[in-house]
Chain A
Amino acid sequence: MTNEEALQHQTQVAHGAAVAAHVAHHKQSFITKYIFSQDHKIISRQFLITGIIWAVIGGFFSVLFRMQLGFPDQTFPWLEDIFGKWAEGGRISQDLYYTLVTMHGTILVFFVLTAGLSGTFSNFLIPLQVGARDMASPFVNMLSYWFFFAASVVMFSSLFVSTGGSSVGWTFYPPLSALGDAAEGAKTGMDLWLISIFLFIVSQLLGGLNYVVTIINMRTKGMFMTRLPLTIWSFMFTAILGILTFPVLLSAVVLLMFDRHLGTSFFLSDIVIQGKILPNEGGSPILFQHLFWFLGHPEVYIVALPAMGITSEVVSTNSRKPIFGYMAMVGSFFAISTLSMIVWAHHMFVSGMNPFLGSVFTLFTLLIAVPSAIKVFNWLTTLWRGNIIFTPAMLFSIGFVSLFISGGLTGIWLGNAAIDMHIHDTYFNIAHFHLVMGVASMFGMFAGVYHWFPKMFGRFMNKTLGYIHFWITIVCAYLIFWPMHYEGIAGMPRRYYDYSNWESFKMFEGLNTFIGYVVIIVFATQFLFIFNFFYSIYKGRKMTESNKNPWKATTLEWTTPPLPGHGNWEGEIPEVHRWAYDYSKGDRDFIPQTEPIGEDEGEH
């Protein structure tokens, strides 16, 4: 034995002993255990709770601007109490309106559905489901959360500067976003917004590196890639997309910062503002759109893929059937991820693009319908003749499939340049993306929370509240967004503050009031969930050792103790002998992944 081998042998022996000892008694202070924790399970809960707080803020903003649209003639004096000069006389000012719209988009897309969704479930499920004690680098993982936290603090404080938060739209197109003189919300609020997004990108990159490396490199013995649960596949493709596209957004943010403060002209050219001619020449705002949408389009899949993975897992478990077409699912994840990076310009059909180029992007965009349809087909065929158990998680997963179909079909319309030119930037578009990625991914997140709550907190959430939450939410989601298709086809543009000056949109006054009421109801309903969530953490029904696999699932996370410590498994990490979907096999209801293949059975 050479020196090095001997050394390695020693550390391995010592390490094995250390793991056993440290799971048994591992005293930590409150700060290292719950605040600056390196345990992936704690970090995941931090992401989840931060995400919930952001979701309440972002959702509340949408209530406020829908009130302006739904009740344009009425005043609400309490608004002035909250916002002061921004809502004089109880009516939201135009500047505040645009800030609310911008922040709603930013918060929901980035902070809730990116960090809150994939931050929570990638962190929680990757080590537990692949059979690892923690992430490849727990420290980098901790940094990932704290960069996100810093981004959150900066974003939240940007709402309180005297010129107001950013009001240039979540897509922050220049020249509006590049010129402080252009709008109140393009001044300090915009700078803080950019700093926050910068920190957020760093957080996502640090997290993404860990997710991919852990999946590729830290699987337990026998856990081949083809035995991974689909959740893990979806998190991996999500992370890869983030690693490849967030840096490009980062370069756009840097260039924009230069334009804002150092007088460069990357995105600015020939601009007259308040009668003053700016010296900037030679820049191109279209260039920004290219850089932005190179992230912006994959971003919607960064949001949607984890929800698809969670849905696959929950649907299969609660149908008591193997997932239909496992390899087709993996293949379609791959196809969606690849295609998502070459379709960005379909957001720019009206930006003055060469029509020939437009048709190329139309083709690629429509191709995405193929893998998406494969996924939908596989979920439906998994449900088909299943022994369906309607847990709240299952309802939200089926809800996801429903919303994904409804929203996806309109994507085929919008993907065609010829149709998009007419309904671009109308409410049709709002309806499309809210259904297909917004509400759908939110449903995926709810499904994940209801399904893995017992594993996270060792207690169960209340089922009845879950059912009420689901039915009101899905009915309201359709009541809000279905009518918007009609508004959009009638040409009603998005992001407007007041439509009462247009004769053509007067017919939608009643509809907007109706949507206003529904928004208030659905927002109030979410507090049922939040109450259920926090109450159940402390008072929910306990998950006992004998009931530690409540959904009778096959995957590895349910083989851990009800409340696993840092290190996840006491003693050895279990070995895996089969894929994750052996449900209703032979006369067995389910066979855990840890059980060796029997003499008389074949591998799936």
Chain B
Amino acid sequence: MDFAMDQRTKIHPKRYMMWMAIVSIIMMFVGLSSAFIVKRSQANWVSLEIPLVFFYSTGVILASSLTVAMAKRAFGLRQISRYAVWLGATAVLGILFVVLQTIGFIELWNSGVTVSRNVSFSFLYVIVGLHALHVLGGVVALIVMFIKSFSARNIVYSPLGINLMATYWHFVDILWIYLLIFMMIEG
């Protein structure tokens, strides 16, 4: 029962909803960023060392933004098999991103920088961890869409799904870039 079709404005309500959700996620990271800034100005702050792996993962997530854009383009051209390939590639890159983040954490942990070592590193774990959770949420959606693209029974004509997916995916990408730069400058 999708009554959203009844609306008469240009922007689809679910698109609006995605933007509102993004605003809401931004507010969570704004909360964390400001907590970070407040803590930084207090005593006992150890400056952050960002693990090298995090820069590789940045490359991966940037590439995934490209692949999701390609998927969107392929969908618009009705090239469904290419669409599926690009979608799958984005999901794989998303998983690779999370794996790289985890490797970064393991390296940190093994070098003695555990989550409770110092507040600055606690923040690193929390912020990067929460971002990775949002990426994982996107990966789940990507996998669902990937599987659906093979279904002959339910052919999707509306570009809404892939548009929302692309918006969200670009968002987590930009969010990561922001977080990385923020932690490099402020940390």
Contacts and interface: CB of A to CB of B under 8 A. Distances in A.
Interface of A: 4, 7, 11-12, 15, 19, 22, 38, 132-138, 140, 205, 208-210, 212-214, 216-218, 221, 243-248, 250-252, 254-255, 258, 262-266, 281-284, 287, 290-291, 294, 566-567, 573
A282 B45 CA distance: 8
B154 interface: no
B35 interface: yes
Contacts of A266: 35, 39, 119, 122-123
Given A134-B3, A263-B115, A250 B28 contact: yes
7 contacts: A214-B13, A217-B16, A221-B8, A243-B23, A247-B27, A250-B28, A282-B44
B31 interface: yes
A130 B7 CA distance: 12
A265 B25 contact: no
A22 B116 CA distance: 58
A12 B17 contact: no
Contact of B27 (A210, A244, A263, A284): A244
B21 to A, nearest CB: 6
A375 B82 CA distance: 58
Contacts of A216: 16
B157 A136 contact: no
B31 A213 contact: no
A302 B21 CA distance: 18
Interface string B43-75: 111000000000000000000000000000000
A137 B2 CA distance: 7
Contacts of A221: 8
B116 A265 contact: yes
Nearest to B115: A262
A15 B27 CA distance: 37
A294 B116 contact: no
A19 B132 CA distance: 41
Interface string B1-43: 1111111110101101100110111011111101100110011
B141 to A, nearest CB: 14
Contacts of A282: 39, 42-45, 118-119
Given A214-B13, A247-B28, A281-B44, 11 more contacts: A132-B6, A136-B4, A140-B17, A209-B17, A209-B24, A251-B29, A251-B35, A262-B115, A266-B123, A282-B42, A283-B119
Contacts of A19: 3, 6
Contacts of B11: 217
Contacts of A210: 17
Contact of A218 (B6, B21, B25): B6
Interface of chain A, main secondary structure:
helix
Given A136-B14, A137-B14, A138-B3, A294 B115 contact: no
A15 B5 contact: yes
B3 A133 contact: yes
Contacts of A11: 5
A469 to B, nearest CB: 37
B126 interface: yes
B130 interface: yes
Contacts of B4: 136-137, 218
Contacts of B118: 282
B115 A258 contact: yes
A265 B122 contact: yes
Contacts of A566: 1
A287 B38 contact: yes
A566 B31 CA distance: 40
A300 B130 CA distance: 28
A247 B122 CA distance: 19
A216 B3 CA distance: 15
B130 A12 contact: no
Interface string B125-148: 110001000000000000000000
Interface in B94-128: 115-116, 118-119, 122-123, 125-126
Nearest to B11: A217
Contacts of A258: 115, 122, 125-126
Nearest to A286: B38
B31 A137 contact: no
A209 B20 contact: yes
Nearest to B4: A136
A136 B16 contact: yes
Contacts of A7: 157
Top 9 nearest A-B pairs by Cβ distance? A263-B116, A247-B28, A282-B44, A248-B31, A136-B13, A264-B122, A133-B3, A251-B31, A247-B27
A213 B35 contact: no
Contacts of B16: 136, 212-213, 216-217
B24 A247 contact: yes
Contacts of B21: 205, 209
A299 to B, nearest CB: 14
Interface in B134-187: 157
A287 B35 contact: yes
A204 B171 CA distance: 22
A281 B24 CA distance: 31
A525 B143 CA distance: 55
B3 A567 contact: yes
Contacts of B157: 4, 7
Contacts of A287: 35, 38-39
